[in-house]
Amino acid sequence: MSNLQIFELDPADGDLVSGAFEVLRASHAADAPEAPAPHKGKFALGLVNPPPGEDEATLIAVRDGVVVGIAEAGFPNRENLHFGWATIHVHPDHRRQGVGTELLDRFIEHARGKDRTTLTLDTRLTWEDGIERSKAGQLFAEKHGFQSALTWINRRCAVDALDAAAEQELLEKSQAAAGDAYEIVSWVGRTPEHLVDTMARLDSTILAEVPLGDLELGPETIDAELKNARADRNERMGVIPIQTIAVDKATGEAVANTAVFAYDDPEYTDAFQGITIVNPEHRGHRLGTLLKILNLRLVRENYPAVRTIWTDNADVNAPMIGINVVLGYEILDGGGEFQRKLDA
């Protein structure tokens, strides 16, 4: 182990960037080949386009000139200043040699330097009769004093999971339930300028509304400036939001939203479900189902290469899971967020 070096990845060093990506590629192939493959272009672009509202650090472990592990870490810099997260991957050929532990130690050192006191690690898990996953991540996290704080379920849905007639029937039923109190608006790309403020208000409720288990995360205030900065980053990264919202005609406020994110890579067949949220005062009108079906149609029209949409939900989020099951989502596996408090 003596010649193992841990340092921050320099995005300008093409060989190391390729080496780090190779760890992610090999881990994906070994641990969860059914899940969407990591995308090299997005990985490289992410290194030079950090997300607004968060300081990021990509630590790599290098032995004899070969990248053998990577820890991608993030530290929110507007709110939740006590918090830090990391995702650690060790190349399958180099596991059980202490590489993961060295990366974790360096992450913890980084976090202490930023006065962070609550840290998380995440890993895939086996979920019920989904695909069986290695226990390595969980055992590694627990060995290092992290405890399970939130479990989620990963699901996937073919874009044509429902036959056309069944989809149309579901759409019409939800349209009838929603009535005419709402204006439905859809777009591909940036949020239209006149909707940015109301969408920022809706987005700000997300962390308070989404089940977070025992994760010690507080609400996040999203203003128009942050929203625009995130939209700029998506554009630079080639990540395209496809979004459908409901506006309450009585108040002009956005009260429900769903978003899917696609890559502007014609070869890439996966897309990712982002948050779906319905303001509590407007639940029970089938808005979640309505928006998701309309948005799915938009994905099919605009991204014909996309075959599968992926989503994850907290295991306790029954209403969202109920909608997803009706839409044809099936379980792939689970995931866990493990949390540890650092001594002051």
In the complex with ligand COA, the residue whose CB is nearer, 39 or 292, is: 39
Q: How far apart are CA 330 and CA 334, in angstroms?
A: 12
Measured between alpha carbons, how far is residue 287 from residues 171, 247, 267, 296, 328 in Å?
Answer: 10, 11, 32, 14, 17
For 285-317, letters b (16+ CB in 10 Å) and e give bbbbbbbbbbbbbbbeeebeebeebbbbbbbee
Residue 296, interface with ligand COA (CB under 6 A)?
A: no
Q: Can you say whether residue 120 is alpha, beta or left, with left for phi > 0 and alpha for psi between -120 and 50 degrees?
A: beta
Minimum distance, C-beta of residue 142 to ligand COA, in the bound complex (Å): 8
Shortest distance, CB of residue 35 to ligand COA, whole angstroms? 12
Task: Report the distance separating Cα 272 and Cα 46, nearest Å.
Answer: 16
Specify the residue, 46 or 336, whose C-beta has the smaller distance to ligand COA: 336
Strand pairing report for 308-314 and 147-158: antiparallel
Stretch that binds ligand COA, among 36-44, 95-103, 222-230, 274-282 (CB under 6 A): 95-103
19, 100, 130, 328: which one contacts ligand COA (CB under 6 A)?
A: 100
Three-state secondary-structure class, residue 215: coil
The C-alpha atoms of residue 149 and residue 169 are separated, in whole angstroms, by 39
Selected from 90, 178, 202, 321, the binder of ligand COA by CB under 6 A is: 90
Could you say which of 143, 249, 283, 341 contacts ligand COA (CB under 6 A)?
Answer: 143
Q: Does 176 bind ligand COA (CB under 6 A)?
A: no
What does the DSSP 8-state code read for residue 195? G
Dig out the tokens for 113 from the structure.
Answer: 């330097």
Closer to ligand COA by Cβ: residue 46 or 137: 137
Q: What is the DSSP letter of 50?
A: P
Rounded to whole angstroms, the Cα distance separating 103 from 328 reads 39
Contact region for ligand COA (CB under 6 A) — 8-16, 132-140, 162-170, 242-250?
132-140
Count of residues touching ligand COA (by CB under 6 A) = 21
By beta-carbon proximity to ligand COA, the closer residue of 123 and 279 is 123
CA distances from 97 to 7, 94, 276 (A): 18, 6, 41
Site string for ligand COA, 30-49 (x = CB under 6 A): -x------------------
CB of 27 to ligand COA, least distance (A): 5
CB of 81 to ligand COA, least distance (A): 23
CB of 76 to ligand COA, least distance (A): 20
**C-beta of 239: minimal distance to ligand COA in Å?**
23
**Choices 10-18, 90-98, 235-243, 305-313; region in contact with ligand COA by CB under 6 A:** 90-98
Distance from C-alpha of 297 to C-alpha of 215, rounded to nearest angstrom: 34
Minimum CB separation of residue 211 from ligand COA in Å reads 21
In the complex, what is the shortest distance from the CB of residue 45 to ligand COA, in angstroms, rounded to a whole number? 22
Choice from 19, 84, 130, 137 touching ligand COA (CB under 6 A): 137
**According to the binding rule CB under 6 A, does residue 208 interact with ligand COA?**
no
Contact assessment for residue 286 and residue 184, using Cβ atoms and an 8 Å cutoff: no
* From 2-10, 120-128, 207-215, 280-288, span contacting ligand COA (CB under 6 A): 120-128
Q: Which residue do the tokens 């019409």 mark?
A: 172
Q: Give the span between the Cα atoms of 142 and 339, in whole angstroms.
A: 9
Residues found near ligand COA in the complex (CB under 6 A): 27, 31, 88-90, 95-101, 121, 123-124, 136-137, 139-141, 143
